[in-house]
Amino acid sequence: MAVKQIVILGAGFAGLQLARRMKSDDYEITVIDQYNFHQFQPLFYQVATARLEPSAISFPLRKVFQNRENIHVRIAKVENVDTQYQNVVTDKGVYRYDYLVIATGCITNYFGNKNIEKYAFSMKSTPDAVTIRNRILLNFEDALVATPEEKEGIMNIVVTGGGPTGVEMAGALAEMKKNVLPKDYPDMDFTGLNIYLVEGSAGTLMNMSQASQQKSREYLEALGVRLLFNTIVEDYDGQIVKFKDGTTIKTHTMIWTAGVMGNVPEGIPKEMLVRGNRIKVDAFNKIQGLTNAFAIGDIAYMETPDWPKGHPQLANVAINQAKNLADNFKRMARNEKLLEFKYKNPGTMATVGKRKAVVDLPFISFQGRLAWLAWMFLHLMLILSVKNKLTIFINWAISYFTNDTTLRLMLLPTPKETVMAEDHYEAEKAGTREHIA
């Protein structure tokens, strides 16, 4: 019997987990991603605030699959999925599949505002986090020589979105203001550095318990974060944030964590998409309307009696859907009955700062030092390699005892890199024009 070809789009939590579990000789697997590394998204904010280096949370895909002859890694951008002829078209070639697995996750949702998309900073990749870090560190270098009028925009940082990412980012920036920046810049006054957290609803962490919502708010206020609730961003031009109530804030740095949407490849029929631009799947993660295509992770929308509005877009859901689909591929090879995906929520958590975190478990909710230790332990366990676990643990330990790190490097592109990027972009455009013609 011919070996079946599985193409996995995306090497996030779901795609990586699926590929690692597919050890059967019945399948040849091609993993396609635009980056040559897996990214640990929950710690992007620590890269952005110079607590961790990018390499600590990024894992080269070819290293992960070094000893797996049935797995092939391809670094490419997906241009189109042809579900009729079972091909994936990329900027590097065409890949035929017998089974397609879409695990492309989410991208930032700017809700149609082109100015915010152009000028705000998103945090959906390791390069995004490095870009934010560069911006934050450059801000303070600029502040040393700025006029009082210029300094106002430099010394205001606006974080939009009161979910876990926004809360963790705002808390990390507040601790940076308190513990790190005065040591690095003894000739600057940081009392004028304002960190705003803007949320359209009435509080932070609205998907968590009331106790966790209240405690996260108390933690942020104690750290000096300025909380703006029931406030909607209307526009941002790179200099001034405008809100729907008519108020404004001058800032050169707005970090947008206010929403996500599914990163759906071209070629997936629109009728298969639901709210949030997610792909509707059945209980086996099969895309409804297609016979040999699946979607797992944040991109997948599965309605069940326990989850009538779909599962939460969390790493734990993605990992477990990948495990279930891997088992089902093995069952398909043996012509056995497939298993439906069942998910029990183990709980949610978020950290605000040193010894400040909130945890909601199905049977209990707790906050403070114990929650912070639980948060650190879980994230360390999810990190792929022992080397990276040790690196992160050592960095956290140093930061805990010294309230400082030594990682504040501005890694800016060189002129040659900029030219190379422009040349690559022009080549891509030319290739697209040729393809269309």
Per-domain residue ranges of the chain: 4-108+261-333, 114-258
**Which helix (H) or strand (E) covers residue 323, if one does?**
helix 315-333
Distances (CA, A) of 22 to 92, 133, 144, 276: 24, 37, 54, 29
Question: So what's the pLDDT on residue 410?
Answer: 74
What does the mean pLDDT of the chain come to?
90
pLDDT at 406 (0 to 100):
63
Query: What's the pLDDT score for residue 434?
Result: 43
2: left (phi over 0), alpha (psi -120 to 50) or beta: beta
Over range 285-298, report the average pLDDT: 93
Q: What is the mean pLDDT of residues 208-231?
A: 96
Per-residue pLDDT at 221:
96
% of the chain with per-residue pLDDT over 70: 94
pLDDT band at 405 (very low <50, low <70, confident <90, very high): confident
Q: What is the amino acid identity at position 288?
A: Q
Q: Specify the 3-state DSSP secondary structure of 319.
A: helix
Do 4-108+261-333 and 114-258 come out as alike in CATH topology? yes
Examine the pLDDT at 425 and tell me if it is beyond 60.
no
What tens digit of pLDDT does each residue of 161-218 get?
Answer: 999 999 999 999 999 999 888 888 888 889 999 999 999 999 999 999 999 999 999 9
Superfamily of domain 4-108+261-333: FAD/NAD(P)-binding domain (3.50.50.60)
Mean pLDDT of all residues in 125-135:
92
Indicate the residue type of 254.
M
Sheet holding 348-353, edge to edge: 348-353, 356-360, 365-367
pLDDT at position 225 is 96
Task: Look at residues 328, 255, 316 and name the one whose alpha carbon lies nearest to residue 292.
Answer: 328
Q: Residue 44 is encoded by which pair of tokens? A: 């992007």
pLDDT given for residue 317 in this prediction = 95
Give me the pLDDT at residue 433, please. Answer: 43
Separation CA 51–CA 46 (nearest Å): 5
pLDDT at 250: 96
Output the pLDDT for position 211.
94
pLDDT at 277: 95
Whether residue 90 is predicted with pLDDT greater than 80 in this model: the reply is yes
Distance CA 282, CA 37 (A): 30
DSSP E strands in 125-222: the ranges are 156-160, 194-198
User: What is the C-alpha separation between 137 and 181, in angstroms, rounded?
Assistant: 10
**pLDDT for 120 beyond 70:** yes
pLDDT tens track for 1-48: 578 999 999 999 999 999 999 987 889 999 999 999 999 999 999 999
DSSP letter string, 50-86: TSS-GGGGEEEHHHHTTT-TTEEEEE--EEEEETTTT
Phi, psi values for residue 210, rounded to 5°: -60, -40
Q: What percent of the chain has pLDDT over 90?
A: 73
pLDDT of 149 reads 86
Q: What is the average pLDDT across 273-282? A: 94
Q: Residue 437's pLDDT band (boundaries 50, 70, 90)?
A: very low
With a cut of 70, say whether residue 430 has pLDDT above it.
Answer: no
Residue-wise DSSP of 198-252: E-SSSSS-TTS-HHHHHHHHHHHHHHT-EEE-S--EEEE-SSEEEETTS-EEE-S
Q: What are phi and psi of 164, to 5 degrees?
A: -55, -45
pLDDT band at 224 (very low <50, low <70, confident <90, very high): very high
**Cα(381)–Cα(383) distance, rounded to whole angstroms?**
6
Lowest average pLDDT, out of 62-71, 213-222, 381-390, 428-437, goes to: 428-437
Q: What is the CATH number of domain 114-258?
A: 3.50.50.100
Q: What confidence tier does 417 reach under pLDDT thresholds 50, 70, 90?
A: low
